[in-house]
Structure 1
């Protein structure tokens, strides 16, 4: 199987590493707008060669892991060039606009809209790691618009690297992802910004920051090149959840101003329910790992 990875950073590189581990009969080629990234991916060995867009007609599978604004331009071009038996998969964090831009494309049947919920705060080829997708949820949108035989090809790959599939329409995907992912990144970026503005002595930040601060601000190390387009693409949903988030912060501030620490205690106690939610998710993932291993 001939596979082309467009975007050889964390997601594309990790996908390539897993494929090399799970499949013997594959040829992995790569493309990247950043020539340094492409050369580094070749040095690290998770792609076998570099290719151009014009060579996509030879591919059996194309995996796009590029910023979502670039994907809007690149996906139609890719579909123009691939053969009828090639499945094109993207891994972007927004789906509504991307699905819309190829709605009437003659080769829409070749495209599978996907979003693996996996990643780290790091970027670039060096950030690629084996097993990144193991037991992670992969959201698939508009699966009925992809040809059945190409669905099978994609799901064979997803299963081999251990991903769990969930189906969702593009609008619901973008709305829910705004709640649980995009807002988290905004919170982290703004926490980092606030501390940098208030605490001018960087040594004090280093010495005094505990694990709580480090874990909360971890996402602020993420790539602005990737996240700015995501915020732009999902602006409507993010603005709505930001209104709710800001309201909660204002209410908390009001409780502080009024010395209403009993209500603060109650607020935090009610919010502790998130532990049960996340523990349930973790237990479910453990069960899936056991089932996958049988």
Structure 2
């Protein structure tokens, strides 16, 4: 089996690394517009070779688009134009906007809309790591729109990455990811900006930062190139979750300003339940 990975950053590079380790494919071809990324991917053994996209597609059984979602939306129709028997998937953090772009494509059945729920705050092929996907959730959307051969190929790929698969439609995906992924990045960006603004006038503030701050603000190092298109494509749900988050913050603000300590405590106790919910949820069991 030959697999082409388009985009040799954190996700694409980590997929290549893991599939090579598992010997899932006989050959992995990398495609990337950035020559530095191509060189690093080859040097690190993330792929076996690099080629231009059209030639790579012709030689492949599976094509994985691991590029920002705005680029996926542009490139996916072109890739489907080229395929004959191949399975095509993407790993984008939005799904509805992308799937709508190819809903009437004559080769829509060759495409499986997917999203591995894994990552770090780092980017580029140097950030690729083994085991990134193990025991994480892999989402496959609108499976009825994909043909059986393509669906089996992508399902087997995610199983080789040791992911737990769930299935939903693309609209559900975008709603849920706004609440469990996109808002996490937004709040991290906002917290980082808040502290950086304060740090301009108080140089000692970052000297006090500890593990709690580090873990909360970690995602603020994430790539704007990746996240701006995600927020744009999932705009309605992102605005909804921002409004909900602001309402909760205003509730905290109101109770704290009024000295309503008991009510502040009630909010915190209610929030504590998230850990129980996460650990009892079958998706998160190890």
* Bin for the TM-score computed over the shorter chain: over 0.9
Cα separation, 1, equivalents of 2:194 and 2:242? 17
Superposed CA offset, 1:145-178 (max 9, x none): 1111221122222112211110011111001100
CA-based RMSD of the aligned residues comes to 1.5
- Bigger shift: 154-163 or 95-104? 154-163
Unaligned runs of 5+ in 2: none
Q: Could you tell me which residue of structure 1 aligns to residue 233 of structure 2? A: 233
- The corresponding residue for 1:292 is none
Hey, what's the Cα distance between the residues in 2 that align with 1:103 and 1:202?
A: 53
| Structure-2 residue corresponding to 1:13 | 13
Aligned equivalents of 1:202, 1:154: Cα separation in 2? 51
Q: Does the Cα contact within 8 Å between 2:278 and 2:284 map onto a contact in 1?
A: no
Task: Give secondary structure in 1 for the equivalent of 2:285.
Answer: helix
Other-structure match for 2:184: 184
Question: 1:95-147 CA distances to partner (integer Å, 9 max, x unpaired)?
Answer: 00100000011110110000000001110001101111111111100111111
Give the match for residue 127 of structure 2.
Answer: 127
Deviations 1:234-280 (A, max 9, x none): 00001011111111111211111111111101111111111211222
The TM-score normalised by the length of structure 1 is 0.93
Alpha-carbon contact 1:53-1:81 (below 8 Å) kept: no
Q: TM-score, normalised by structure 2?
A: 0.96
**What is residue 80 of structure 2 aligned with on the other side?**
79
Q: Find the counterpart in structure 2 of residue 63 from structure 1.
A: 64
**How many Å separate the matches in 1 of 2:93 and 2:233?**
9
Structure 1: any 5+ residue segments left out of the alignment? Answer: 287-294
